[in-house]
């Protein structure tokens, strides 16, 4: 579904985060290269910040730093 060099959009990132991380809600802004994502999920509970951010980065794998040039993340563990 995400094939090709089509540039990334905030909507795409939001949809993929919400699909991959259980019960996540994401607010994503960005210009196609630099993005900011605020993500809340009960899956973050009990995890360190590093581990929370890794969960979000893992949604995109190698695309971070490449197709998604930069991804700023804020995470919130909600109930």
64 binds other proteins (CB under 8 A): yes
Among 21, 24, 53, 55, which residue interacts with other proteins (rule: CB under 8 A)?
53
Query: In this chain, which stretch among 5-13, 17-25, 39-47, 68-76 interacts with other proteins, using CB under 8 A?
Result: 68-76
Is the distance from CB of 27 to CB of 37 less than 8 angstroms? yes
16 binds other proteins (CB under 8 A): no
Between 4 and 61, CB nearer to other proteins: 61
Query: Using CB atoms within 10 A of its CB, is residue 17 exposed (0-12), middle (13-18) or buried (19+)?
Result: buried
d(CA 72, CA 23): 20
């Amino acid at each position: 579904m995400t094939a090709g060099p089509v540039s990334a959009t905030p909507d795409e990132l939001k949809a993929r985060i919400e699909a991959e991380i259980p019960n996540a809600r994401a607010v994503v802004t960005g210009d196609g290269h630099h993005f900011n994502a605020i993500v809340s999920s009960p899956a973050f509970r009990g995890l360190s910040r590093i581990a929370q951010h890794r969960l979000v980065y893992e949604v995109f794998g190698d695309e971070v730093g490449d197709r998604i040039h930069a991804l700023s993340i804020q995470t919130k563990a909600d109930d």
